[in-house]
Structure 1
């Protein structure tokens, strides 16, 4: 019989669900109506903005339709804005809106506190090792020598 609890993907999936729920709850408690999906989109754009819909879909591992719906919702909340691509007038770029930019510091602080709690009792070497293993597993699944982000 397959022992799912001995399988790394079980723990990765479980941790992912816990992280999403906890981060979203902490955002709500701090007065920020931001979902885990919105948080992920904001992080990508804080790192590099603007991005095309295709780039956002590729980075988030979501299809373009899902990304478009998410961006639509975030534009309605004034978190993001769409701009014309100066290199291709048929394309649209997604950029941060003023509210999206303003949330970087408070949301990052909330997540930093959460990460500190989640990694309590782990050495920096253990955290780096866990990150390296997960990155390598990601690269293996993607068939790459190295995983991005």
Structure 2
């Protein structure tokens, strides 16, 4: 009979890595005076990559649920990093776009993320990092 071991579980290990990366990214943002949280930065980056998405498209692009997106967007809008633009006559559907302040913040956030990833992959070869990403993407594909 196989006994399930949490410590040997791929899902548990991935969760630990995700939590550690979020914590490190939040700490790096704080050190660099970037006033966003790890949960918000992917939204800003996706909006920079593809302006004019609506909330549902942004949720899909970041693999997040609509409720958590709503909360994050309210915070980002209050910080004047994003704005909602009405689509034609439909008041319910709004395009999302970075403000100039949001656009200016993205390169600083990317630099912070690169610092964290350099620390996280320290001691790993380029081939190991590539293989890790391939395996993780395969798992994402299996579950999507």
Q: What TM-score does the superposition give when structure 2 sets the normalisation length?
A: 0.91
List runs of 5+ in structure 2 lacking aligned partners: none
CA distance, structure 1, for counterparts of residue 71 and residue 112 of structure 2: 26
Deviation string 1:61-87 (CA, Å, 9 cap, x unpaired) is 33323212211111110010001224x
How large is the RMSD of aligned CA atoms in angstroms?
Answer: 1.4
* Partner SS state of residue 36, structure 2: coil
- If asked which structure has higher relative contact order (CA below 8 Å, sep 6+), I would say 2
Contact 1:50 1:96 in 2 (8 A): no
Q: Aligned partners of 2:50 and 2:7: how far apart in 1?
A: 37
Residue 85 of structure 2 is aligned to residue 89 of structure 1: no
Check the 8 A contact 2:26/2:38 in 1, yes or no: yes
Superposed CA offset, 1:7-49 (max 9, x none)? 1111110000000011001101111121111112112112211
Structure 1 segments unaligned to the other structure (5+ residues): 143-149
Question: 1:41 corresponds to which residue?
Answer: 43
Select 1:60's aligned residue among 49, 59, 62.
Answer: 62
When normalised by structure 1's length, the TM-score is 0.88
Distance 2:62 2:27 in 1: 21
Checking the alignment, whether the CA contact within 8 Å between 1:78 and 1:100 is kept in structure 2 is yes
- Partner of 2:28 in structure 1? 26
Of residues 63-72 and 16-25 in structure 1, the stretch that sits farther from structure 2 once superposed is: 63-72
